[in-house]
Structure 1
Amino acid sequence: MQVSVETTSTLERRMSVSVPAARIESEVAKRLQQTARHARVNGFRPGKVPMGIIRQRYGSAARQEVLGDLIGSSLQEALIEQKMQPVASPAIALEGAEEGKDLQFVATFEVFPELQVKGFEAIEVERLQAEVSEADVDQMLEVLRKQATHFHDTERAAQDGDQLVIDFVGTIEGEAFDGGSGNDVRLVLGSGQMIAGFEAGLIGSGVNDEKTLDLRFPEDYHAKELAGKAVSFKVTVKQVGAPHVPELDEQFFARFGVKEGGIDAFRDEVRKNMQRELRSSIKAKLKAQVFDGLLTNNPLEVPKALVAEEAKRLTLQAFQEATGNYELKADNLPQGMFQDEANRRVALGLILRQAVQQLELKPDEERLKALVEEMAAAYQQPEQVVRWYYQNEAQLNELRSAVLEEQLVDAVLEKAKVSERTVPYEEAIKRPQPKAEEAPSAE
């Protein structure tokens, strides 16, 4: 077998492979001999059919099977011989497969970039310091109360904050349009769910009232065909609900699994959850800064095949979450979305994996145990959650990857320039940028 490799770009390789005709014919002969043992031909007993007839009847199919197998096996041999690892399945172009001649094909593929992660000392990181104060707990209790708001039917006129049940029909120049109508729609006045003027126009309405709202879609409306257009909505108010915010009482505490200890026990539980969220948020911000620093200090060209695959995955995930249809297939969706994000995620994944190797990191099983227990503490029966993780190897491996990522961040922080800043709780828990927060695994 002859192999030659051409470098066509930084990451693309063009591998030419030639398999001797003798090897092909030998494999075809073996395949036909196997076929002859079981072939059934009228006038001959099984296993006694002349090879000439076997070759005449099955030779072409046997040769095609052998060629297919040889392309796969010789490609693997060639890759091992050349010490190459494609990032995705190579594209195969058959250049010669005539009977009696050598099999010749070309495999085109991308390889992983050569990378030595550097610049750890140049990374600048700000570590936030924050505490959960009593005032923060008070504010969170109010948030929880408002989230549990429910509505009681009322005969009075609608006010800001009330929930209405409405039917509406929207028309543009007298014609209805897609998405412009709804029945039994629940709408909280002041929520900003509808375009400007819609909710304000329903304040003062009563049950069974009918109103016509002449409005205009914003110039930057997400549906471009409606942006800036005048629209008329005919609205029927079917129900008006006044908001009721629950009191901090035993019934309210029980919703959160606190059945004893009253307000003090409930505050303790809320504080623990807030402290857990605070630790998680500070970690996420540190990780985001470390990852951004690694990307900045290690620019690299990434394989197009990996970027395309990641972009397809991100597109599928976005459409499934937006539509609720998890039967969607990526091939049926528009391509080209999330290209920049996919490029960033692939680059970061390559950098993280190389950094782990350079720093010779392995998942710390004690940290894994601590992480499992911390996650389980958020549930009412933490022991069962811990058992579940340790009985599900796939889930446990995901946590091992998270632990390895934490270890990598810690290792980089030991080399980076780290400053500290004390901030209020609310600032500390603001979410980091999605691109950093959703970084790929280091493992």
Structure 2
Amino acid sequence: MAQSTSTTHSLERTINMSVVAADVEKDVAARLVKMARTIKMPGFRPGKVPMKLVQQQFAAQARSEAFTEAVQMQFGNVVREQKLRVAGNPKIEPLESSEPGQVAFSATFQIYPDIELADLSDATLEQAVLPVGDVEVEKTIEVLRKQRVTYSAADKTAAKEDRLTIDFRGTQEGVPFDGGVAEDFPLVLGAGSLLPEFEANLEGMARGESKSFPLTFPDDYQAKDLAGKTVQFEVTLKAVEAPQLPAIDEEFAKSLGVPSGDVSLLKADVRTNLEREVKKRLHARVKNDVMNLLLEKHTFDVPTSLCEQESHRLAEEALSNLASRGMNVKDIPVEPTWFLAQAERRVRLGLLVAEAVKKHELYAKPEQIRAVVEEQAQSYEDPADVVRWYYSDTQRLAQVEAMVVEDNVVDWVLAKVKVTPKTVEFDELMASN
């Protein structure tokens, strides 16, 4: 049967082809002979089962395997002859053969798109910058102090950052509702553990004071029966504890891993770690901007088969993340279709990055991989052990290699576009994910 190729849309192809039936049957016979050498059946010694019985039980399996292998080989030959880059797995369907002695079939599949990289010379990108100075170091130390805060009873009215103990009772039209009643409930005022409107009513209260106030739940509140509804709360403040931050002294420095307790060494360590973290966040921001620019400047069809594969992978990843948090995911419905938009973006970016890497030889060099590994290892107590850990596993190294390749693409784009530096606020940068 002559081969024929048709196009249904820009990336989909259908190839009609055939294999010789006699060749398939010859392969079937060879497979059955091979099976007969090891097959075990009651009443027969291994290798002594009559061929007739072998054929009766295993001919269908052997024929399926032989046909599948023949189809794969024929399909691979045609794809190589036509120089097609197949995306995903082909859909194989039988056809009625017009030629005697032939087994005809069709293979429908998608191919990778041809991507022409756009001229980026007229594009402009803002690149965030943030010098790390004494102010940023002091702010970071303040965060470290707050992470080690203690509380002590205080004879004062409630203010933000105080730890309170309260009783509360919420009613809707005079009837208590689920989750609306608690005793000895602890919260740090302003930390956001309760609705902002609720916490605002606690400010200025004194220990032993009771208060009643209405509260309207947000329209998107998680408890649907309360969303948008107005209820009445009665609150009694039972205790006020003021925050006590540790002094920046020898004991504080030792608690943060400085054996000598030298505060100047602590600040030097904080600066080093902060510079590393700021660099990481700035790079993540510019990388995201570069990828968005690439998507904006390139329009092309994406193989739906790759998007479907990626959406399934993302769904499995979501379930795995839930399971790692101790949740029973057996009955949690996670549909791959929920992730199609994210999957398409990832596939599109992956194709763009791959094209840039191939065209401009932006492959990861061994010394680049080593530099990234060593930089990441610096934040650990024994960097040498971390380096050995990376190099002991090819999969871990492959992940680093992929990062380096993306960084090379980022550098390539930044060299093409007009870059405008923009200083960002420290608090805003550190608050971003």
> What is the TM-score normalised by the length of structure 2?
0.82
Distance of 2:43 and 2:311 partners within structure 1: 60
SS in 1 for 2:247: coil
Matched residue, 2:363: 362
- Residue pair 1:169, 1:181 contacting (<8 A) in 2 also: yes
Distance of 2:160 and 2:129 partners within structure 1: 39
Tell which deviates more after alignment, 77-86 or 256-265. 77-86
Cα offset for 1:362? 2.5
Distance of 1:239 and 1:254 partners within structure 2: 32
Give aligned pairs, total: 428
Distance 1:67-1:165 versus aligned 2 partners, 3 A rule: farther
Cα offset for 1:11? 1.4
Any idea what the Cα deviations from partners look like across 1:15-36, whole Å, max 9, x if unmatched? 3332222123222322343455
SS in 1 for 2:87: coil
Tell which deviates more after alignment, 164-173 or 342-351. 164-173
Distance of 2:424 and 2:22 partners within structure 1: 77
Tell which deviates more after alignment, 60-69 or 232-241. 232-241
Distance of 2:68 and 2:188 partners within structure 1: 64
Matched residue, 1:93: 93
Percent of aligned pairs with the same amino acid: 36
- Residue pair 1:127, 1:418 contacting (<8 A) in 2 also: yes
SS in 2 for 1:363: coil
SS in 1 for 2:197: coil
Cα offset for 1:65? 4.4
Tell which deviates more after alignment, 287-296 or 347-356. 287-296
- Residue pair 1:2, 1:19 contacting (<8 A) in 2 also: no
Matched residue, 1:227: 227
Matched residue, 1:441: none
Matched residue, 2:258: 258
Tell which deviates more after alignment, 166-175 or 278-287. 166-175
Matched residue, 2:417: 416
Distance of 2:169 and 2:314 partners within structure 1: 35
Amino acid at match of 1:264: S
Pairs within 5 Å for 1:298-309: 298-309=298-309
Tell which deviates more after alignment, 391-400 or 30-39. 30-39
- Residue pair 2:171, 2:177 contacting (<8 A) in 1 also: yes
Tell which deviates more after alignment, 298-307 or 116-125. 116-125
Matched residue, 1:198: 198
Q: Which structure 2 segments of 5+ residues have no match?
A: none
Matched residue, 1:274: 274
Tell which deviates more after alignment, 52-61 or 109-118. 52-61
Cα offset for 1:319? 6.0
Distance of 2:192 and 2:223 partners within structure 1: 17
- Residue pair 2:7, 2:13 contacting (<8 A) in 1 also: yes
SS in 2 for 1:429: helix
Any idea what the Cα deviations from partners look like across 1:50-74, whole Å, max 9, x if unmatched? 6556545554454344444444444
Any idea what the Cα deviations from partners look like across 1:358-408, whole Å, max 9, x if unmatched? 111221323333322222222232232223223333222222222222222
Matched residue, 1:160: 160
RMSD of aligned C-alpha atoms? 3.8
Matched residue, 2:398: 397
Cα offset for 1:290? 2.4
Amino acid at match of 1:15: I
Pairs within 5 Å for 1:305-316: 305-316=305-316
Distance of 1:87 and 1:427 partners within structure 2: 44
Matched residue, 2:380: 379
Tell which deviates more after alignment, 186-195 or 318-327. 318-327
Distance of 1:31 and 1:111 partners within structure 2: 33
Pairs within 5 Å for 1:51-130: 55-56=55-56, 58-95=58-95, 102-130=102-130
- Residue pair 2:130, 2:426 contacting (<8 A) in 1 also: no
Distance 1:183-1:122 versus aligned 2 partners, 3 A rule: farther
Matched residue, 1:290: 290
Distance of 1:85 and 1:297 partners within structure 2: 24
Distance 1:118-1:279 versus aligned 2 partners, 3 A rule: same
Pairs within 5 Å for 1:121-140: 121-140=121-140
SS in 1 for 2:411: helix
Tell which deviates more after alignment, 406-415 or 61-70. 61-70
- Residue pair 1:164, 1:188 contacting (<8 A) in 2 also: yes
- Residue pair 2:92, 2:105 contacting (<8 A) in 1 also: yes
SS in 1 for 2:191: coil
Cα offset for 1:159? 4.0
Distance of 1:281 and 1:41 partners within structure 2: 66
Distance of 1:321 and 1:184 partners within structure 2: 33
Amino acid at match of 1:133: G
Distance 1:242-1:91 versus aligned 2 partners, 3 A rule: farther
- Residue pair 2:149, 2:245 contacting (<8 A) in 1 also: yes
- Residue pair 2:18, 2:102 contacting (<8 A) in 1 also: yes
- Residue pair 1:281, 1:428 contacting (<8 A) in 2 also: no
Distance of 2:49 and 2:154 partners within structure 1: 92
Any idea what the Cα deviations from partners look like across 1:232-265, whole Å, max 9, x if unmatched? 5566777654322111112221232122262211
- Residue pair 2:252, 2:261 contacting (<8 A) in 1 also: no
Distance 1:261-1:240 versus aligned 2 partners, 3 A rule: closer
- Residue pair 2:128, 2:424 contacting (<8 A) in 1 also: no
Tell which deviates more after alignment, 243-252 or 409-418. 409-418
Matched residue, 1:438: none
